[in-house]
Chains A and B, each alone.
Chain A
Amino acid sequence: MDDLLLNQFLLLGAALFCIGVYGVIARRNAVLVLMSIELILNSVNINLIAFGAIHGSITGAVFALFVIAVAAAEVGVGLALVLLIYRNRKSVDLNDVAEMKG
């Protein structure tokens, strides 16, 4: 019964993760890429909380809380970068930001 319930959560997490990865790799808009990263992180959060709930442990929830905090910080920095890129280029297309090409 629990296993069945857990599978639901894991499948949800995996679906979210795949959508996130797709977004990160395929979207050109930097803001959408950041949002996709959020999706990946949240898919991981779902897994953590699901495992924590099944095992009756609070550890998973604490981990998820930390991930949310770090993700907030990350998004803060990321959006600031995107904002600056936009100001300089009037564009947030990631294909245009390739100055580091070797």
Chain B
Amino acid sequence: MLENAWIIPLIPAASFFLILFFGKRLPKKGSEIGIAALAICFVLAIATNVEWFSHVDDAEHAAASSHSDDGGHAEEEGDSQEHGMADGESAGVLLPAAPDAEAAASAPSADEGQTDFSVEPVQKSWTWWSSGGHEFTVGMLLDGPGVMMLFVVTLISLLVHIYSTDYVHGDRRYTHFFAFLSLFTASMLGLIMSENTLQLLTMWELVGLCSFALIGHWWEEKPNSDAALKAFLVNRVGDVGLICGVIILYFGAGTFDIRTINEMAISGEISHLVLLVAACSLMAAVMSKSGQFILHTWLPDAMAGPTPVSALIHAATMVVAGIYMVGRLYGVFFQGLSIGISSVNLMAVVGGVTVLGGAALAFVQSDIKKVLAYSTVSQLGYMVMALGVGAWTAAFFHLFTHAMFKAGLFLGAGSVSHSVHSFDMKEHMGGMKRFMPKTYATFIICTLALIGIFPLAGFWSKDEILAAAGQLGGDGSYTAFLVVGVLGALMTAAYMTRCVYLTFHGEPRGHAADTAHPPHESGPRITVPLFILSGMAIVAGFANIPNSGALSWVPDGMAVRFEHFYEPKGDYFPVVLDTFAHPEFSLGVALFSTVIGLLGIGLAYAWYFRGLGPHGITERNRLARAGHRVLVEKYYLDRLYVDGIAGAIKRPIARAAYWFNQNVLDGIVNGIGSGMARIGRFVYDRIDQGVIDGAINGSGAAASSTGQGLRKIQTGRVQEYAALLFAAAALLAGVFIIVI
């Protein structure tokens, strides 16, 4: 299955066309095709994972046996490391003066307890088209992160499909909805398997297109189509960065092949400056796609789409594309931004700002989905920050766990709103605990997982990020981002508690209090996906239990399985560099972050449940009011974009375009038109009437006058003919005699 995993994206792609063409005629309006396709994909993805596990284990055993045989492998390994470092130096990466010992000391768990072995990724490519002697390929590059994402995307997508059959039941474009869910999944799966950056770019755009179609699913209402347009346009901004990055990397490495680019970046064959520029360009793409400040503004508006789409966008497909892209090209980022040896870099800063900025905005939202959207922004900030500090595994582990509990939260929010027909927590919710016990239970589990309470999934992944921020990096390390992460954890706990309070506790309001139609628990097609996801939110964290520090008693066979199987091992991943390291489990950080989380819950509990604290401060205190206002206005970013940038540009441009149109374009068009008319008249008068007609009339007249002339000798008298005959014969005879 590993070799033929390329078939997985083709299944939903085929399903897209089948649903589009035949969906309406089927008894279930096409949803059955989508679900069947995704179910097959899910099974195939599991098979791929299983095979990948044995592939990794085989590689490990082979490496271990050759290691014990002659030690040649270790030498080779050492050589390649030295080689990489030497090139790194020549490329201008600044290594500490007495590098080896220090780097090894500052990364204590880097290679501890694990043999160095490399796992060959599965790569296949076919020629897409060739031009100018250069072949452009399409194919698949499948390794750890790829198979992990296959599992996540197919699982979430399958659950979302099942959920949607109930949620959008009776919708006017039910078939269309399922068709685009299929295409969305197909493009994300294609992106995951991308073998070269060009394919990545294509799939990236396809994902953007599908998100546009699905966010604007109910386009009859203006805000929805506006949100879709906004998502599309903001993403265009970042896509420019992606295109620039791809082009820069192509000229830097001479290829689109992702693996080669990474290998060249890590070995130092591409200069540091090129990598830096490429990484900064690609960061723009990450900022737009993965909702990082300051291009995150489309993401909360994307809540205009149906809730299952929000879950799919936020958990599995759209927003993690940016994270995945960074992880895929991690060699470029790691070297370009000098992640391993610096204490601050662009990616970490963007992630850190997003963690806090997104979390702060979640406090002032009254729409339950927008709270979750800003929560996603904040959690994506964690992932980018983790990638920024060099903790690749932590970032992807958080992606994995976050996909589970955030999908659960979104689907839970959808379940609530399905029942009260509104997303407004303040107007139409409250006390839903009574009406929807199953949704409540799953929502609480996913919330606790998001906050990071032991032993749920979020605890392990967030803790790994915090530990990495505290331990990795060069001098002084990324300690500032540890503080950011802890603050973010506090805020996460508080806003999620507020959200739970407003939705499920207190007295019912609005539609929720409607006694004629009291809210009711959703059907099994909604609750079963919730159960599965909350189950995953409980157990997913154990996939990567650390076995270092205070947890060193965990047996090797159970610990860091996620890292073991899913982290790429080979020359195309920075793991071969000395500066790359894995964080160690830190009991202090773990306890502290848990306490912080509980503190956040406690504070929010006291504020909302008990009504303690200075309520109404936003009306009384000027400073607090201003702060609240900034948050409600979302840092005025939308105002800046719409009025400041778009408005300032569009007026003069529109006027200039009008002037240009009236004067230049119309002038050109009119000039061409009248010029053509003049030429036409000239041609008619002179050439057609004069030359051509003259030639024809002239030939006629010549024939006629010749005829008139010849007519004179046509007398009808035989004897004159005879005279002519003899005269001519005599003439000829005379000529004959003279010539001879």
Do A and B bind?
yes
Contact with B along A59-100 (1 / 0, CB 8 A): 000000000000000000000000000000000001101111
- Please tell me if B715 contacts chain A, counting CB pairs below 8 Å: yes
Contact with A along B695-725 (1 / 0, CB 8 A): 0000000000000001100111111001100
- Please tell me if A102 contacts chain B, counting CB pairs below 8 Å: yes
The B contact surface, by secondary structure, is helix
Residues of chain B contacted by A24 (CB below 8 angstroms):
719, 722, 726
Residues of chain A contacted by B714 (CB below 8 angstroms):
100-102
Select one of B710, B711, B719 contacting A94, CB under 8 A. Answer: B719
Contact call B722/A98, Cβ cutoff below 8 A: no
Contact call B723/A25, Cβ cutoff below 8 A: yes
Closest approach, in angstroms, between the C-beta of A25 and any C-beta of chain B?
Answer: 5
Closest approach, in angstroms, between the C-beta of B283 and any C-beta of chain A?
Answer: 99
Closest approach, in angstroms, between the C-beta of A35 and any C-beta of chain B?
Answer: 14
Select one of A21, A26, A102 contacting B716, CB under 8 A. Answer: A102
| Number of inter-chain CB pairs below 8 Å | 33
Contact call A25/B726, Cβ cutoff below 8 A: yes
Closest to B730 in A: A21
Residues of chain A contacted by B722 (CB below 8 angstroms):
24-25
Closest to B707 in A: A102
Task: Decide yes or no: A100 and B719 within 8 Å by CB, A21-B726, A25-B726 being known contacts.
Answer: no
- Please tell me if A50 contacts chain B, counting CB pairs below 8 Å: no
Closest approach, in angstroms, between the C-beta of A91 and any C-beta of chain B?
Answer: 15
Residues of chain B contacted by A97 (CB below 8 angstroms):
716-718
Residues of chain B contacted by A101 (CB below 8 angstroms):
714-717
A94 to B723, CA, bound (A): 14
Closest to B723 in A: A25
Contact call B719/A98, Cβ cutoff below 8 A: no
A100 to B720, CA, bound (A): 12
A21 to B729, CA, bound (A): 12
Residues of chain A contacted by B718 (CB below 8 angstroms):
33, 94, 97
Select one of B710, B716, B723 contacting A98, CB under 8 A. Answer: B716
| Interface CB pairs A-B, < 8 A, 18 | A24-B722, A24-B726, A25-B719, A25-B722, A25-B723, A25-B726, A33-B718, A95-B717, A97-B716, A97-B717, A97-B718, A98-B715, A101-B714, A101-B715, A101-B716, A101-B717, A102-B710, A102-B716
Q: Which 9 A-B pairs have the closest CB atoms?
A: A102-B714, A101-B716, A98-B716, A100-B716, A102-B711, A25-B723, A24-B722, A98-B717, A25-B719
Beyond known contacts A94-B719, A97-B718: 14 more, CB 8 A cutoff? A21-B726, A24-B726, A25-B723, A26-B719, A33-B718, A95-B717, A98-B716, A100-B714, A100-B716, A101-B714, A101-B716, A102-B711, A102-B714, A102-B715
